[in-house]
Amino acid sequence: MPQQDTESTPGEAPPAQVVVTTSEGAVQGATLPLRRGKAVNVFKGIPYAAPPVGPLRWKPPQPAAPWKNVRPALDFGPDLPQTPNPRLRAPAQSEDCLYLNVWTPDGAAPGSLPVMVWIHGGGFVGGSGSDLLSDGALMAHRNVVVVGFNYRAGLFGFLAHPGLSRESPNHVSGNYGLLDQIAALHWVQRNIVAFGGDPQRVTAFGVSAGSASISLLLASPMGKGLFQQAILQSAGAARPLATLAEAEQAGTALGDDIDALRALPAQALFENTSLLSPRVRGLTTPRLLRPIRDGWLLPEDERQVFKAHRLHAMPLLVGSNADEGSLLTRAWPIDSVASY
C-alpha cells in the first residue's frame, strides 16, 4: 500500500482534495497552492499494474485490479527493493512497487495540456519515481502534466532464467522492468485525458538508466506510439546488450527451481545478487541485471537500429555533462587503466 511521506504542520489547513476517475476507478488527490495564485493537483501512489509478488514475481506486468470506492492517492507508494541512497529520503521498500504519480495544473481542461513522463535513473538496480529529483510540482506549474512511476529493477526487474523462459508464451525472460515502463506508458495513453493531458503530446524524458530505457523503447516494436518526443539525459545507445542465452546462463546461479525461488523472501534474493557476477565470462552483474537482447521486446541490438535509422521517428533532445562519469567512481572504484 502507498506509504505516508508527509506530515501536517500544526495550525496549517490540510490541502484541498480533488477526485479524478481512471480506467480502474476513482482516485482522490490533493490540491497544493503554489506562488502567484497558482495551484497543482497531485495524485500519488496510483497502481498502474497488479503487485508483482508471489506467482507474479518475474512475470510481465498484469492489469491492476479495479476498485469501486474512491481510492486515496495522497501518499507515494513504496520503492522497489534496493540499496538505500544516503543522499535521498529513505522510503519504505517492497516488491509491491508498481505505482505512479501525477502532477497537473489545477483547473486544466481534459486533454488540453502536453504531458511529460519521467523515467527515473538508478543503473537499472534502483531509483524511484517519487524521490526529490522526480517531484513534478514545479514543472506542472508551467502548464504541463507530469507523470513519474516506479518500475522493477535489479534482480526483480531483469533476471533471465531458462525456467522463466520455458513458462513464457514468448519463450523469453528478463526485461520485466522495461515491460513495466511500457505498462505505465499505456496507462498514460488510457487515462491522462482525465488529468488534463493530451495523449498525443507525450514527451518521455529520463536520466541515466531512464534515458537508456527511452533509447531502448525507441528501438523496440512495443514502444511505438507510446510517446511522441523524447529527452535523453546522459545515456543512450552506448554499449552492446547481453543476449538472452548469456543472461539465462547467469541466472541459473540462483537455483533451478523457479517455484522455490518465487517462494523466497525478497530480502533473501536481494542479498544473493552477487551470485550472478562470475557466471559468464566478460559479463559483470551490472550488465546482466539490465535490459537484454531477448529477441522479442528487443529483437536486435539498439545500436544497429539507430545506425540503420529504423528507430521510431520523433523529435529528440540529447544531452550530457562534462566529467559526470566521475559520479560513478564511488560505486565502481576505478584505480587503474586496466580496471577502466
Q: Tens digit of pLDDT for each residue in 118-161? A: 999 888 888 888 875 557 787 888 899 999 999 999 899 999 99
What cell does 142 get? 508551467
Residue 334 lies in a domain: no
**Residues 32-85: tens digit of each pLDDT:** 988 778 899 999 999 999 999 999 999 999 999 999 999 999 999 998 877 665
88-92, 177-181, 221-225: which has the minimum mean pLDDT?
Answer: 88-92
Helix then strand then coil, % of the chain, to nearest 5: 30, 20, 50
Distance CA 271, CA 26 (A): 38
Q: Is 44 helix (H, G, I), strand (E, B) or coil?
A: strand
| Calpha distance 301→290 (Å, rounded) | 14
pLDDT at residue number 57:
97
Of 214-218, 220-224, 327-331, least confident by mean pLDDT is 327-331
Share of the chain above pLDDT 90, in %: 59
For residues 302 and 280, which has the higher predicted lDDT (pLDDT)? 302
**Does a structural domain hold residue 7?**
no
Write out the residue range of the structural domain in which residue 143 sits: 16-88+95-322
CATH at 162: 3.40.50.1820
How confident is the model at residue 335, as a pLDDT? 63
Q: Is 8 inside a domain boundary?
A: no
In a domain, 329, yes or no: no
Strand extents, DSSP E, the chain:
16-21, 26-33, 39-47, 71-72, 99-105, 113-119, 145-149, 197-207, 229-233, 316-319
Which percentage of the chain shows pLDDT scores above 70?
81
Q: Is residue 276 part of a domain?
A: yes
Those residues with Cβ within 8 angstroms of residue 148's Cβ, 6 or more apart along the chain or in another chain: 100, 101, 117, 118, 120, 129, 130, 134, 136
The amino acid that residue 95 corresponds to is E
pTM: 0.88
Give the chain's domain count: 1
Residue 340 lies in a domain: no
* Backbone φ and ψ of 329, nearest 5°: -70, -25
In-domain check, residue 305: yes
Q: Is 21 inside any structural domain?
A: yes
Residue 45 in contact with residue 92, Cβ under 8 Å?
A: no
